[in-house]
Amino acid sequence: MSSAPWWKSAKAIEAESFSDWQELRTEDGLVYYFNRKTQETTWDKPAELMSEEEKAYESNWVWVPDETEVYVAGRIIDDSGAAQVAVEMENGGERMCSRASLISMKQSSLQRIVSDLTLLDEMSIPLILHCLRKRFEGGKIYSAIGTILISINPYTQLDLYTPKMIRKYRNSLEEHREVPPHVFVIADQAYKGLTFASGPNQSIVISGESGAGKTEATKQCLSYLGAVAGSVAGVEKKVFDANPILESFGNAKTVRNNNSSRFGKYVEIYMNQHLQLMGGKTTNYLLEKVRVSRQGESERNYHFFYMLTKGCDRALRKELELKTPDHYAICTEGHCVQVPGINDKNDFEEINQAFRTLQFRETDVHSIFRFVAGILHIGNVQFDVVQSQYADDGSSVSAASGADLAKCGKLWRVDVKKLEAGITHKALVMPGNRTVEKGLNPRDAHDQRASLIKFVYSKLFDWLVIQINKSMEPKAAVYKSIGLLDIFGFEIFQRNSLEQLCINFCNEKLQQLFNFTVFKLEEKVYRDENIGVDHVPFIDNQPILDLIEKKPHGLLPLLDEEGITPGGSEDKYREKLRAQYSGHKYFKRYGKDDLCFVLTHYAGQVVYATDGFMAKNKDILDEGLLLLLDSSKEPIIQTLFSKNKKGGGGGGLSSAKRKMTLSAQFRTQLNKLMQTLHATQPHYIRCIKPNDSKEPLQFVPRACFEQLTYSGVFEAVKIRKGGFPFRLRHTEFADRYRCILEEDNVACGNGKQGCRDICTHLHLNASNIREGRTMLLYRALEHRVLELKRNIIMEKRKMNETLKALIQTNVATLAEPELHFERMARVVRACKRYNIQNALSEKAKKLLNQFIESRIDAQTKNLLEQAIAEKDLDKLERVCAIIEREQYETEKCKLALRMRDRIHVINRESEQAVVTLDTSHMEACLFAATELDYTNDYIDYFRWMFDTLGKDSEKFVQEQMRQAVKMGDLKRQLRLNIKLKDLVFDKLHQSFAIQNCPVLKEDHDWAAEKLFGRDKLRQNMMTWTADEIHSHLTTTLDKKHKKEGRELFKSIQIYMGDRENKHKTQEELGLDIVIRGHQQKEFGDEIYCQLIKQLTNNNRPQSVNRGWNLLNLCLYVFSPSRELENYLEVFIRNQPQERKERSLTALQSILYSASGGMKKTPTLKDMQDILNGIRPVKRDFLENPPEGPSWAPLTVSFYDDKAEDAEEYFDSASEQLAGAHAPQPKLVNNKPLKSKKGKNKAPPQTASPAAAKFNFGQNLGTSNKGPPANPLQQQMLAQQQKAEEERRRKEEAQKRRRQPEAHEEKEKEKKTKLPQPKQQPKQQKKQPASEYKWLCHLDPESGDVFYERISDGVTQWDRPKEAVKPHWLAHLDAESAELYFENIDSGVTQWNKPDEFSDPDEQWIARLDADSGEYYYENVETQKTQWEVPSCFAEKVPDQEWMRHFDPTSGEYYYENVRNGQTTWDPPAGVNFQ
């Protein structure tokens, strides 16, 4: 038969309609679905490929309210009830739910996880929460609502803020390319907002609870602005260095946050006309003064107290008479001195550098140290009672505290006796301005001292802000500004005071601003422009604001009035509140305590305790203490408190200032801030705290839901989805974008007509554009197209002019030609980015290459040639370091950079591929390595597997299986087991014929149970029959089941249509059979064997079809026994392809899926759903669906032009940033992701349809060499040998260690001779380690580190230049009850156990035993060793035995037994995790 003409085939292909979704198979033969357009993959069948029955199954899905999860997905399985319906949950359980409480959904919407929430198919709260959760648990902490950013704190380090990432976002945003949501996008939008000549200043409002990540978001916004904009005279460096100073004096460790800002700040960044940073200003709000004198449990004081006590050098420590922080009351009240992730010692050095950058005078800095040290000393002062017969008891400083008081007086340079009198007496102003002193009892004296240190610290902080602002004052007129608001989050404690009322009042104001700009202002614009957008209801918080601040009866004005009223008191204040607001909607009495009242804020109800309101509101210091401070000779105190000083801090002595209450000051500041923000175009970052325990990437739905609700996120999604966030007046729009038409020689009108001309010419989507009365409003996609077109045109014009000027310049006349060519390089890069190719750009590129090549010395050129020719990584590293340092950008230099990066990827990916031995991963590594003629141990090993074993051969898969077993990867073992079965059954399928199955009776035994016709029965035991059977087929049933076995066979015959029955329908009988197998396990194998019998040699098509239907029903509901499963699988495999595929998938699912089978008794509807294929099999033994793997770039040829462009653009040859960038975030709030013990999941793999085709294994059998050792095993062996050598060396050193008596003598000598460096007797010297020359120790008296030379025992205080052996101390973290470890030499802290560490007193040393992998412990004094853990290293065992952790690699939770270290994927029985 002749083939169809080519033109007919071509026409047919052209007319054929292809779905975007394609059904594909992984290398293991598993079906998944791939979208050709979006590159999305999923195991679930997309709607486009579903049948009508499958779509009906989809339509029954709903969101079910849940106490813990907020909402969970389920499917209605019985809706016959009027008010209650039965819902099957995703986990297989059932729940009766109120019909009214359910929210309908499409099951397919669960798979659509989008980065911008306005793109969701449905605007339901459950779906928004689900989308945020899935993104977060996948490590994507940022999501967008149009131009609003949602940021969820990951509590772990993510590679999101590097210079490379800044360049990537800057370049992509300049070209208006799609980028994932990021804090950099918000910063860029604010920066671009300054480009509109008549536009307003910009602001970024960052809000959220304490611990939600506001401070980090602020720093990264500043980092992006500083790096992208550049600055005048390095101003951005000052902006960055201001932050460490403010954080050290204003941030502290709290139970919610290890680096919590305890003050609010508004940072303004000033820009010149070139949009470069030219200065800045910080305004601070409401420092938490009470923290200076009192901290909560597991909390710390302000960071600087710990920095000073740990970081000062010996000379400064001696002058300030300081010890370690655990010696000071104000540092230890919270029982937390050290915080994992915070290096106080190094931070102190950073602060000193910041002081220098910001041009603080050395005398002022030194005076600050003296001032803070004085606070530490006076905080230790205790008081004794002084009894009096004629007046109330007084107090005096206790004799034991006299030295502390004297140290404070000395450092503050005040009279010690007057200082004692000031904190033990109160100055009372009598009529006629006469002052008398009243003695204070010890409790009041303690409060007086607390008032003093709170007041002086607050004034110091204010002064620091003023000095920082002075150093950043702009030297010229400010063009525009960007403000960043990082202010305290909403606070709700059991009892809240005046500070919390002010903080929550501030958050109400910010929420009002959000409501105004996002809701009110947006809707007002739509109404004014008459474009008809639906109203979105939201919470208007104006009533609560009036309740707090409106004069004359607002809570705060009423408090101010009571403070100046003669005879005013807190009792009278409370009475006035109750009388004024008894029926108010947002105010109510607190029944448990008359001192309290309750306010209903937008974030919930808050209880405020009024005791202490009036004293805090006055915010003044005792007159006697003010006079004392005024008399000080210490420079910083004179600056802050002297009456004669002008400027500086203001001291708080101004009568006008002192009359203004705390709440009045705060309201004034806040109103000024709101005026400033209302005059800007605000951008919003909503920070969310995902859990209270700071657990990495753990999402607690209830907590996140409440924060999202209170902050108006759900309403914002609705209005942004239906809104038009971009708008310009008609004239502005036409003027801005008419250049697009001019470029194409098309006429453009003015005003409205110009807008229409532009939209028509660009074919913009009319549904996304609204023409209002005065302006044109449009959405993000249209904005992106317009800006991209305009930018390219403007850049082309600008580039052409610049290129002409550069080319025409006579370089010989220039004093610094390097600057000329540096500018030319930037222009050439811009030409490439905007695809500008003309004679000018080519000439400039040629001139630039000539100049660069002329700068490269001969030695470097030679090294470059060798490195490229030999592909030698060492030479490539050396030459690339030179290239990057000198910024050479010739074609060969770029090739070397790309080659180095490529080899790094090969090494990295081959090292990862050897862990799993995944076929595609190994192939990609081999392809990339072969192309470059490069190899390493891993590549050699992969090549042996392919060439010697043969790809996908039985031995090949067995090698993969061995590695999966070593890795403890159960799910991969199951998938490889399936693959091995394919190979084995292809060879040995005859051995697994059903007649050989051990659960079957022997044919002669079965036939012998009947008297007549035994030979025929024996021969036809497992073939179809229309007759009855005389006995059951399997040994799993005994004689008493003989009759039931016969009846069961009749039912199967009736269901298959081989026997008539008038009592029940076939479907009812089929359900009875399946229920029998589900409920009575012993009948399961009997059912399967009877079905195999009736499907063998059956010539009746209808009977066969119904028999296979019944088999598939059984495979969905109950599993065969282990003895039968292989025989059943071979039976299924021997069927035609169209028959076996569904049954084989069902068999594998029920055998290997953790949730396989049905828990509940099946119903007729269940059976119908299964047969219609709309109830999918459960395959939770699979990995996540295939996705773009990390090794995907290796599948693209190194010499491919597109690959070259991509690598160059994003990696080695990226354009330099205009300014500096902030350092990576510190680890103060981040815990490392704990490694799982026992089970490790392999990374998700893919079988991409577009993947390169590899042919490795073509030389199969050509190698006669034995198998090489797996490099991973070689590494482990080498590590074990190294550890063994180290253990032996240490044991030998222990034998030579001196006796305990000599040790005591040495300790005594250390105490008496330090600080003078001491000599150790020669006979006591230690054996030198090969890499270390010195040991470090902690001096218990001073808390300083000193160093001991290993060779001769010489000690010294100064750190030597030679290598120092790390000395790790173990500390118990008060919050987590876990040990963390501090390197006393570097100050670094970590959670992971080092190989050797000691307790802080150096009484015990723990060492890792290489053989067992466990630690043993040596007593330093007795030199005895033991396996038992000493009490100093004992971690507290939590009350609960099991802890839950999130594994970001797999996206699943695993569980750890804290008592024995056991880990498991399965939730422990009887344990409820909230």
DSSP string of 1333-1364, one letter each residue: -EEEEE-TTT--EEEEETTT--EESSPPSS-B
**Cα separation of 578 and 565, whole Å?**
18
- Beta bridge pairs of residue 33: 23, 42
Residue 834 to residues 791, 798, 843, 889, Cα–Cα distance (Å): 9, 12, 17, 18
Q: What share of the chain is helix, strand, coil (3-state, %, to 5)?
A: 50, 15, 40
> In the structure encoding, which two tokens stand for residue 867, read together?
């490195």
What pLDDT score was predicted for residue 43?
A: 62
**Cα separation of 42 and 111, whole Å?**
8
Residue whose tokens read 């305990």: 1300
Rounded to an integer, what is the distance from CA 40 to the centroid of its chain? 23
> In the structure encoding, which two tokens stand for residue 85, read together?
């319906």
* Residue 15 parent element (H or E): helix 6-15
> In the structure encoding, which two tokens stand for residue 1063, read together?
């009592």
What pLDDT score was predicted for residue 826?
A: 74
What pLDDT score was predicted for residue 534?
A: 67
* Closest-CA residue to 1338 (of 1372, 1298, 1310, 1374): 1310
Regions of the chain where pLDDT drops below 50: 1-18, 27-28, 646-657, 1181-1188, 1202-1214, 1234-1255, 1257-1267, 1297-1329, 1448-1451, 1474
- Beta bridge pairs of residue 89: 74
Secondary structure E strands in 561-679: 587-589, 596-601, 604-609
**Cα separation of 1124 and 44, whole Å?**
30
DSSP-assigned letter for residue 1378: -
* Angle at 400 (CA atoms; ends 439, 635), nearest 5 degrees: 75
What is the bridge-based pairing of β-strands 201-207 and 680-688?
parallel
3-state DSSP assignment of residue 1389: strand
**Cα separation of 440 and 421, whole Å?**
10
What is the radius of gyration, based on Cα positions, of the chain? Answer: 38
- Beta bridge pairs of residue 1407: 1396, 1416
Q: Where are the alpha helices (DSSP H) in 1062-1121?
A: 1066-1079, 1084-1095, 1101-1117
* Closest-CA residue to 86 (of 71, 69, 102): 102
* Closest-CA residue to 1116 (of 1057, 1183, 1173): 1173
Residue 35 to residues 177, 1185, 1248, Cα–Cα distance (Å): 21, 12, 11
- Beta bridge pairs of residue 356: none
DSSP-assigned letter for residue 1192: G
Q: Which residues contact 406 (CB under 8 A, 6 or more apart)?
A: 416
**What is the identity of the amino acid at 140?**
K
Q: Which residues contact 551 (CB under 8 A, 6 or more apart)?
A: 557
**Cα separation of 521 and 159, whole Å?**
37
Q: Which residues contact 287 (CB under 8 A, 6 or more apart)?
A: 250, 262, 263, 458, 461, 462
**What is the identity of the amino acid at 1356?**
Q
Residue 1417 to residues 240, 1313, 1403, 1429, Cα–Cα distance (Å): 45, 30, 10, 7
**Cα separation of 1234 and 1378, whole Å?**
13
**Number of other CB atoms surrounding residue 915 within 10 Å:** 18
Residue 161 to residues 76, 167, 203, 1387, Cα–Cα distance (Å): 45, 10, 21, 24
873-886 vs 891-916: helix crossing angle, rounded to 10: 130
**Cα separation of 401 and 379, whole Å?**
10
**Cα separation of 684 and 682, whole Å?**
7
Q: For 708-756, what is each residue's pLDDT tens digit?
A: 887 778 877 777 777 787 888 899 999 999 999 988 889 999 999 999 9
**Cα separation of 148 and 58, whole Å?**
32
Q: Which residues contact 1474 (CB under 8 A, 6 or more apart)?
A: 68, 700
| In contact, 340 and 1389? CB cutoff 8 Å | yes
